[in-house]
Amino acid sequence: MTAFMDQDFLLTTDVARKLYHEVAADLPVIDYHSHLQQGEIAERKTFRNIAELWLGGDHYKWRLMRTAGVPEEYCTGDRSDKEKFLAFCKVLPLAIGNPIYHWSHLELRRIFGIDLVINEKNAEAIWEQANAKLAGMDTWTFLEQAKVEIACTTDDPADDLLQHAEIAQSALKTRVLPAYRPDKAMRINNPGFEQYVARLSDVAGVKIDSFTSLIAALANRVEYFHARGGRISDHAIDIPLPTVAATADQLDGLFAKRMRGELLGDLEQAQYLRGLLEAIGGVYAKYDWTMCFHIGAMRNNNQRMLETLGPDTGFDSISDMTTSNGLVALLSALDSRKQLPKTMLFNLNPAMNEVLSTMIGNFQDGSVAGKVQFGPAWWFNDHKLGNLNQILAFGNHSVLGIFVGMVTDSRSFASYPRHDYFRRLVCRQLGEWVASGEYPEDYDALATIVRGICYENAKNYFKL
């Protein structure tokens, strides 16, 4: 019987074990999409205890705890940090098969060197040992300990990025770069849109009185980000895009309608979003950026809890919306004008694996390996089966050796062991192919693939 999460965890063949231990394990990390806060890095934030590190803001764990019957007061409420931590440890053993079970143990071992099983019996000992280690750690410690070479944050176009400048001038070994996420400009019906436009106008120095001038302001901020190391944008596509683009006059009309205080209908929102993505995509191409689309989230579904706790608190799920026709139309329109930037497609609905892994082949042009990429398993897909299925779909329909690999997509500085989890699964799958006679036992070729997926491809693709 295999020991619980031993050194060969998830590695099912001799080839997998050799590839992981000799090639993948010690490679640096390029985390090209995360939600780490630049301010917490700049100020070298410390954590008062493991509960703040693990449970503060982690909607994955809150969701698990609620599902296991833990009252909200132990998740986001006013119970003490220790009470919250003990509640988590008590229910985690019930979550067999959940990636949080594996991630938590990997974090405990790799960050703190604690080999205890997380349960109610060991909770007190874990609390004491982890907190003793945390007393000498800060955000820099987590980045450098995990060998994070590059970490990209997620930043609004109107952000001044001044703390990024502080970080760049500091002694931190990790390069921390901004990534451009214009959600507030995209979500035209959200409350405060008019106020956001006014702020963006001031920051960009562009009078925004039309859709055209909105794009000019966003382009101005792309240039600003580019000068400060930004090379990646990120966009949430949570509604189906139309197959037919709105005209310039129609887009100006939609923008004017919203600025008058009127809300747009569903089709009008989709037309506006398609127009914005098409326009800003051309800007990204000019700067040789990568445009990332995160597709298929159904967000903030519990209205009562949204009003109580706010967004991003664990009440999201997978959408089964149909996006393929509108997405292809958008990519094709950009391609026809030779303005399609490098693009990554992340899907939340696993039923779209084959849709997107075949779609990327439509827009390769030989200018760069994998110009259009099928992104790694994301959010509700980021588990053992989800990662393996993404790898299989990529391999079945594309060239797996050019895949740019894993991201944390996380707000937690403790989440970097997820890269280790992913690397073990990559090596596992390659080893399975060799063991079944589907690929030769050519370690040079296999090592090239592993180094590429786990590190080198991202470095080359994003030009970081």
Where are the domains positioned within the chain? 14-47+142-462, 48-137
**Cβ neighbours around 230 below 10 Å, total:** 23
Which residues, in sequence order, are bridge partners of residue 232? 290
Does 14-47+142-462 match 48-137 in CATH topology? no
CA 338 to the chain's CA centroid: 27
What's 347-408 look like in SS3? ECCHHHHHHHHHHHHHHCCCCCCCCEEECCCCHHHCCHHHHHHHHHHHHHHCCHHHCCCCCC
Residues 96-153: tens digit of each pLDDT = 999 999 999 999 999 999 999 999 999 999 999 999 999 999 999 999 999 999 999 9
pLDDT of residue 1: 77
CATH H superfamily, domain 48-137 = uronate isomerase, domain 2, chain A (1.10.2020.10)
Residues 352-371: tens digit of each pLDDT = 999 999 999 999 999 999 99
Report the interhelical angle of 81-91 vs 59-67 (nearest 10°).
Answer: 60
* Cβ neighbours for 298, distance < 8 A, ≥ 6 positions apart: 238, 316, 317, 318, 319
* Residue spans of the chain under pLDDT 50: none
pLDDT of residue 2: 85
pLDDT of residue 321: 87
Helix intervals (H) in 161-296: 162-168, 183-186, 193-204, 211-227, 248-259, 266-286
Half-sphere exposure of 314 (CA within 13 A, CB side): 18
CATH number 3.20.20.140 is the correct assignment for the domain at 14-47+142-462: yes
- Cα-Cα end-to-end distance for the chain: 44
Nearest to 134 by CA among 105, 153, 114: 114
pLDDT of residue 419: 98
